[in-house]
Amino acid sequence: MQVGVEIGGTFTDLVWVDDRGVVVVGKVPSTPSQVHKAVENAVDHAAVPLRQVTRFAHGSTIATNALITRRGARTGLLTTKGFRDIIEIGLHDRVGNIYTAFYHKPRAPVDRRFIREIRERVDGSGHVVEELDEEAARREVQFLLDNGVTSIAICLMHAYRNGAHEERLREMVLAMSPTTRVGCSSRVSPEFREYERTVTTVVNSFVSPVVVDYIDRLDRGLTERGCRSGLQIMQSNGGIMPAEAAGDNAVRMLLSGPAAGVQAATWFARRNGINDIITIDMGGTSTDVAVAPMLEPRVVQELTVDDLPIRTTALDMVTVGAGGGSIATLDSGGFLNVGPASAGAEPGPACYGRGGTLPTVTDAQLIAGLLRPSHFFAGRMKLDIEAAKAAFASLPMPGELAEKADSVLQMVNGNMAAAVRLVSTARGIDPRDFTLVAYGGGGPLHAAMVAGEVGINQVLVPWSPGITSAFGLLIADLKVDFVKARLQALTDETLAEVRAADLAATCDRYAASLGLTKGSYDVQTGLDLRYAGQGFELTVWVELAQTSPQALRTVFENLHRERYGYVRSNLPVQIVNARARLTRKNELNVITPKENVSPRASRETCDIVLRGKRVAATFMARSDLDFGETVSGPAILEEPTTTTLVPPTWTARCCDSGDLLLEKK
């Protein structure tokens, strides 16, 4: 038996495969004050026999929340003498708004007084110019410990080429204080670019103690309940890693939940014969959008969280503040805004009856008639429409309550459509050739309207879409990325050096440490390449032992032309990084049952407000659709984990797989 659990801003989702291969689901409210408790509640609600579980995969926003709210550990930074202010100086670009007169640079989560300089120096080739002054270093470490620092980041100049001084400092810190968390840039982010490398290492050290504490409490709680399988954690790259590795690689968890959803979306698309998809995942706090041509999600080597550049492999996603809990407000100019502030799980939207009083997207859905109070969450949670009306009555904008609610929903649809354009048309991809895969608690309710705005004519709504991210954890592969900076011209000699370094052997050693036998996993190798003088690079995955510099250049230029529309055949090509990826496939056969509710409900006709018009829509249980049956919009299909809107001029067909395919007439 295998289990996947994903914690969202409002709900915590669980899926598990029983001994027949049938997927069973569970969904409970999240518990922000004690995050791990929601996992235990979900296990209890689904009656998971933990003693029989062989794999427990988990995705969480714990690392992201710790960074954004600045509730991580008191962190110190050890850096090379003369480079104390790298993290303060940052970059010359303005993140967000380039026109504001009150711009503030993004600040890494470390106080300047806790940034201490160490006498040592390594040059760009990895040669030691000045030996490490251990006596002076010991004094700086003691200063940090005396001032309550519990996690120390070490980022020395050019440690990506030679990390010996960082390793010696790490040994020193642990000898002086064995309980202090220590992170070295040569382990966390062995790449050039000093600012990004320093930020990544500091963020890793800042969130690492929070992640370790959370995982320890969760693992202990599961063990006490009889779970004997090793806990595994979802990474931003769409693969899982052992929980014991999460502390040293906490930055790899920053997009943990959303990445799992993208992996699941490709699985559902594949079983329906769909090749090119754009995913839209609307949860309680935000909406995440990604693109996967030929079912291969795009990958980036750097992501941005709270305006900070984090150098770690991640699925390429755009996030907008458009979740069910996103709060509607009017700005100082009287213009309507939705998000990014969210009511979250506690108190949540006003209609949840938990003390929330502010107007949210979920309240708008209820007032517009898209949700029915007694049918939400399979009837387990009755929505308070009077509380929703009171919240919207406090929104100082003209019009009836239904008009206000519809305005909020149209703005949310516009925000999500803009995110779809960012991952498609802004990157040279025509979205009209793609299918929109909608999931999350709110995705199917908005997907067809969003698709209509960007010219997409087909929407796939997977089985039980409210738990799609948890399903992605269930089917995810073990995946670990390794990188080593090179910074050399692409020649026969440098390619031979990369082969000799044999980063694939690092994958083999890591696999052996996990008890994996040779042949039970795959290893990919690749290079980050760029034209000489370029500021950014492209990753080319190749079999290094069977390629040549000219062949590499050809692949690189084909990718460059696809991505940017041109090539520069007269410029030399540089190697920036060597990469390797270890992947162990999760061979899991699952059966997704068509029905998720027991009693079949009769179809009803109720009025809803859609784009400023009141129309009569058919309300029915999704499970009432037989295989191959089609229903025309306007219609609302209800199920335990979500609600699907079929607008006028659209149809919804139940595929042979049990998934829904919405098509524009």
Write the pLDDT tens digit of every residue in 499-537.
888 888 899 999 998 888 888 999 999 999 999 989 889
Q: How far is CA 62 from CA 35, 70, 174, 205, 287, in A?
A: 8, 12, 26, 14, 17
**Inside any domain, residue 148:** yes
CA 323 to chain centre: 15
pLDDT over threshold 70, residue 96: no
The letter for the amino acid at 235 is Q
What does the mean pLDDT of the chain come to?
Answer: 89
- Of 164, 195, 226, the residue at which a domain comes to its end is 195
- pLDDT over threshold 80, residue 98: no
Residue 637 lies in a domain: no
601 — pLDDT class (breaks 50, 70, 90): low
Assess whether pLDDT exceeds 90 at residue 201. Answer: yes
**pLDDT of the residue at 556:** 95
Q: DSSP per residue over 525-581, as a string? A: EEEEEEETT-S--EEEE--GGG--HHHHHHHHHHHHHHHHS---TTS-EEEEEEEEE
Which of 62-76, 139-153, 561-575 has maximum average pLDDT?
139-153
Average the pLDDT over 197-223 and give the result. Answer: 92
Can you give the pLDDT at residue 441? 86
Instruction: For residue 230, name the pLDDT band (cuts at 50, 70, 90).
Output: confident
Say yes or no to pLDDT of 600 above 60.
no
Which CATH number characterizes residue 496's domain? 3.30.1490
pLDDT tens sequence across 15-46: 888 777 788 888 887 877 777 888 888 888 88
**Which segment, 90-94, 326-330, 575-579, is predicted with the most confidence on average?**
575-579
In total, the chain counts a number of residues equal to: 665
Quote the DSSP letter at residue 284.
S
Asked whether residue 64 is assigned to any structural domain, the reply reads no
Instruction: Inform me whether the pLDDT recorded for 596 exceeds 50.
Output: no
How far is residue 182 from each of residues 2, 57, 72, 212, measured CA to CA in Å? 33, 26, 14, 13
Confidence of residue 178 (pLDDT cuts 50, 70, 90): very high
Alpha-carbon Rg of the chain, whole angstroms? 26
Q: What is the distance between the alpha carbons of residues 298 and 538, in angstroms, rounded to a whole number?
A: 12
Residue 278 lies in a domain: no
Task: Measure the CA–CA gap between 344 and 65, rounded to whole angstroms.
Answer: 12
Among 100-114, 237-251, 567-581, the range of highest mean pLDDT: 567-581
pLDDT at 2 over 90: no
Q: Is the pLDDT of residue 571 over 60?
A: yes
Note the pLDDT of residue 493.
92
Can you give the pLDDT at residue 227? 85
46-81 tens-digit pLDDT: 888 888 888 899 988 788 878 888 889 999 999 999
Phi, psi of 227 (to 5 degrees): -75, 130
- Give, in order, the Cα–Cα distances in Å from 581 to each of 30, 249, 523: 33, 15, 6
Compute how many other C-beta atoms are within 10 angstroms of the C-beta atom of residue 665: 9
Question: Within a domain: residue 319?
Answer: no
- Give the pLDDT confidence score for residue 224 in this predicted structure: 87
CA 35 – CA 42 distance, rounded (Å): 12
What gap in Å lies between CA 611 and CA 402, rounded to an integer?
Answer: 11
Q: Residues 6 or more apart from 252 whose CB is under 8 A from it?
A: 235, 236, 237, 241, 246, 312, 313
247 φ, ψ to 5°?
Answer: -60, -45
Q: Is the pLDDT of residue 323 over 50?
A: yes
Question: What is the total count of domains within the chain?
Answer: 2
Q: For residue 425, give Cα distances in angstroms to 301, 313, 410, 434, 563.
A: 21, 23, 21, 12, 12
| Boundary residue ending a domain (146, 173, 195) | 195
Output the six-digit token pair for 340: 């990014």
- Cα–Cα distance, 362 to 185 (Å, whole number): 43
User: How many whole angstroms separate alpha carbon 345 and alpha carbon 354?
Assistant: 9
Give how far Cα 151 sits from Cα of 158, 269, 388, 393, 629, Å: 22, 43, 44, 48, 58
Q: What is the mean pLDDT of residues 630-641?
A: 91
Q: What 3-state class would DSSP assign to 5?
A: strand
Residue 292 lies inside a defined structural domain of this protein: no
Q: Cα separation of 595 and 192, whole Å?
A: 52
DSSP letter (8 states) at residue 360: B
Q: Check residue 64 and give its pLDDT.
A: 83
pLDDT of the residue at 35: 79
Whether the pLDDT of residue 597 is over 70: the answer is: no
Domain end: 556, 584, 612, which one?
584
- Render pLDDT for 414-436 as a digit per residue (tens, 0 to 9): 999 999 999 998 888 899 999 99
Identify the burial level of 385 via C-beta atoms within 10 angstroms of its C-beta, where 0-12 means exposed, 13-18 middle and 19 or more buried: middle
Residue 563 to residue 177: CA distance in whole angstroms: 49
What pLDDT band is residue 99 in, cutting at 50, 70 and 90?
A: confident
Region 115-139: mean pLDDT is 95
Over residues 116-131, the mean pLDDT reads 94
Q: Which residues pair with 643 in a beta bridge?
A: 638
Summarize the confidence of residues 372-389 as an average pLDDT.
84
598: pLDDT strictly greater than 70: no
Domain that holds residue 547: 478-584
More confident residue, 38 or 439: 439
Average pLDDT for 608-620? 91
Euclidean distance between CA atoms 390 and 377, whole angstroms: 22
* Residue 577 is assigned to a structural domain of this protein: yes
Q: State the DSSP code for 465.
A: G
In the predicted model, is pLDDT for residue 330 greater than 80?
Answer: yes
Q: Tell me the range of 144-158, 286-300, 554-568, 592-606 where mean pLDDT is highest.
A: 144-158
Tokens in use for 563? 């991505």
Asked whether residue 531 is domain-assigned, the answer is yes
Secondary structure class of 647 (helix, strand, coil): coil
pTM: 0.87
Residues 6+ apart with CB under 8 A from 554: none
605: which strand partners? Answer: 618
Amino acid at 350: A
**Which tokens belong to 309?**
């550049």
Residue 160 has pLDDT above 80, yes or no: yes
